[in-house]
């Protein structure tokens, strides 16, 4: 039976993610449009993003927070290009984005001392393999496999190298222990449902010390440069952006951060997201056809919730036929306006992926699950001619 009720908000994309509950274009009324971002009020808006970010995430006062170009990719690459090469680096990767950073380091930067520690989709590599005498690059939450690191316990407090973390689908939904992190990056269009455009770059005092003591032997385009004359460009971390930001996106980022505070701050953002995972977990436990892509509950993501097929007839299909099945499933959910963008990532094993970040209401997560069952039964009946 087709379910009677649709999610009030059927947007389950893993980026750009659903806007916060109650969002409308009115939220952008105060945007400083047609004015210079270097004007006094322009800089104040950018500084507000930085200050609210520090307040919501409890980022230590001696860490720098900057707004940089190029979304999360821009922020990660800025870190890799500026910081790596002073010592060897361990690259941890278990899904598509982590693997992209491996490609950057091995094929573009072509660093000589690189160890790659990888795991297939659904698994986490052995974190104890990371050698923190070296720099270590990792993704807190693998958005395309739905596998996250369980905590920061594997990162020593007295590390010699830098811990460099792509935290884009983790920040604001997972607890990040700042003392274990030297570099963190994310973009606005994820957990707080902001707009894609800019990246956030957080640097620990040790990361700043590296920037000021190590000059990489490679050209750095202006868009990546964090130092001038061997000194950190402090302005970047108080709202003097390297180039022109979108003040509309900035206003929206402020709206998302203010909303975070209005619902109770980080604790509540995490609770909302973990509850979405709990709702899906209970449904999976009773499902005859769906399982998590990640087997270990301790490393399952509460934001990018990735599902695979467990139905014996579907798993017996060829990989191509399974991918086709998954596409039909996502298309049917979309046609019914029950769930948009719920297909798994293009390089990931076939299945579904539901975003469970803080802007997704728990009731909507509850409401979408009967639709998954109905759509699965419908596509299965079509596929097997019954
Ligand atoms: C873990 C991770 N890293 C990097 C990116 C790329 O982010 P952006 O499009 O903001 O550059 C994404 C996007 O989904 C991601 O999930």
Indicate the top mutation candidate among 168, 191, 223 to test ligand 1's pocket, ranked by most ligand atoms within 8 A of CB: 168
Q: Atom 14 in ligand 1: which residue has the minimum CA distance? A: 15
The whole-number pLDDT of residue 379 equals 98
Q: For residues 386 and 377, is the Cβ–Cβ distance under 8 A?
A: no
Say if 293 falls within a structural domain. yes
Give the binding-site residues of ligand 1, using a 6 Å CB cut-off.
Answer: 15, 71-73, 97, 139, 143, 166, 168-169, 187
The whole-number pLDDT of residue 375 equals 98
Q: Are residues 241 and 274 in the same domain?
A: no
**In this structure, what CATH number is given to the domain that contains residue 315?**
3.90.1150.10
- Please tell me the distance from the alpha carbon of residue 233 to that of residue 235, in angstroms, as a whole number: 5
The whole-number pLDDT of residue 130 equals 98
List phi, psi (to 5°) of 56.
Answer: -65, -45
Say if 2 falls within a structural domain. no
Nearest to 150 by CA among 140, 159, 142: 140
Say if 15 falls within a structural domain. no
Domain that holds residue 58: 25-262
Q: Which single residue is written with the structure tokens 């990040």?
A: 176
Nearest to 293 by CA among 133, 105, 95, 159: 95
Mean pLDDT, consecutive 10-residue stretches, the chain (386 aa), reads 96 98 98 98 98 98 98 98 98 98 98 97 98 98 98 98 98 98 98 98 98 96 97 98 98 98 98 98 98 97 98 97 97 98 94 98 98 98 93
Last residue of a domain, one of 239, 262, 285: 262
Q: Which single residue is written with the structure tokens 């910081």?
A: 83
Q: Are residues 136 and 51 in the same domain?
A: yes
Beta strands in the chain (DSSP E): 64-69, 89-93, 114-118, 135-139, 141-142, 147-148, 163-166, 183-187, 198-203, 227-228, 231-232, 290-292, 304-309, 351-355
Contacts of 111 (CB under 8 A, 6+ apart): 84, 85, 89, 105
Looking at the structure of the chain, the number of domains it has is 2
As given in the structure block, the two tokens for residue 153 are 């316990």
The whole-number pLDDT of residue 33 equals 98
The whole-number pLDDT of residue 136 equals 99
Q: Atom 8 in ligand 1: which residue has the minimum CA distance? A: 72
Give pTM, 2 decimals.
0.98
As given in the structure block, the two tokens for residue 306 are 């990735």
Say if 16 falls within a structural domain. no
The whole-number pLDDT of residue 386 equals 79
The whole-number pLDDT of residue 176 equals 98
The whole-number pLDDT of residue 188 equals 98
Q: Are residues 113 and 150 in the same domain?
A: yes
Distance 126 CA to ligand 1 centre (A): 23
Distance 378 CA to ligand 1 centre (A): 33
As given in the structure block, the two tokens for residue 317 are 């299909």
């Amino acid at each position: 039976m087709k379910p009677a009720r649709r999610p009030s908000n059927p947007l389950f994309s893993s980026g750009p993610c659903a806007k916060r509950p109650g969002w409308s274009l009115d939220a952008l009324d105060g945007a400083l449009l047609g004015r210079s971002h270097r004007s006094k009020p322009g800089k104040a808006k950018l500084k507000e993003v930085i200050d609210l970010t520090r307040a919501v995430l409890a980022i230590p006062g001696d860490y720098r927070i900057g707004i940089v170009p190029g979304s999360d990719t821009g922020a990660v690459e800025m870190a890799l290009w500026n910081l790596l090469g002073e010592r060897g680096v361990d690259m941890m990767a278990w899904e598509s984005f982590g693997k992209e950073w491996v490609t950057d380091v091995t094929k573009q930067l072509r660093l000589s001392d690189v160890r790659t520690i990888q795991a297939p989709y659904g698994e986490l590599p052995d974190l104890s393999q990371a050698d923190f005498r070296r720099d270590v690059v990792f993704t807190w939450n693998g958005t395309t496999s739905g596998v996250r690191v369980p905590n920061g316990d594997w990162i020593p407090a007295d590390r010699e190298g830098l811990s460099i973390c792509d935290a884009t689908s983790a920040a604001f939904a997972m607890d990040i222990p700042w003392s274990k992190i030297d570099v963190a990056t994310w973009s606005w269009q994820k957990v707080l449902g902001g707009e894609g455009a800019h990246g956030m770059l957080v640097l620990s005092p040790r990361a700043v010390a590296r920037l000021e003591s190590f000059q990489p032997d490679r050209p750095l385009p202006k868009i990546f440069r964090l130092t001038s004359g061997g000194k950190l460009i402090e302005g970047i971390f108080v709202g003097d952006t390297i180039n022109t930001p979108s003040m509309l996106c900035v206003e929206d980022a402020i709206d998302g951060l203010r909303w975070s505070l209005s619902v109770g701050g980080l604790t509540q953002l995490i609770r909302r997201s973990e509850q979405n995972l709990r709702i899906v977990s209970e449904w999976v436990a009773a499902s005859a056809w769906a399982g998590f892509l990640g087997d270990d509950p301790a490393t399952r993501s509460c934001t990018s919730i990735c599902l695979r097929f467990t139905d014996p007839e579907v798993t017996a299909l060829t990989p191509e036929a399974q991918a086709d099945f998954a596409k039909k499933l996502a298309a049917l959910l979309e046609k019914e306006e029950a769930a948009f963008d719920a297909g798994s990532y293009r390089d990931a094993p076939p299945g579904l992926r539901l975003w469970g970040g803080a802007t997704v209401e728990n009731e909507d997560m509850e409401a979408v699950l009967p639709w998954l069952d109905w759509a699965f039964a419908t596509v299965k009946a079509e596929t097997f001619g019954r």
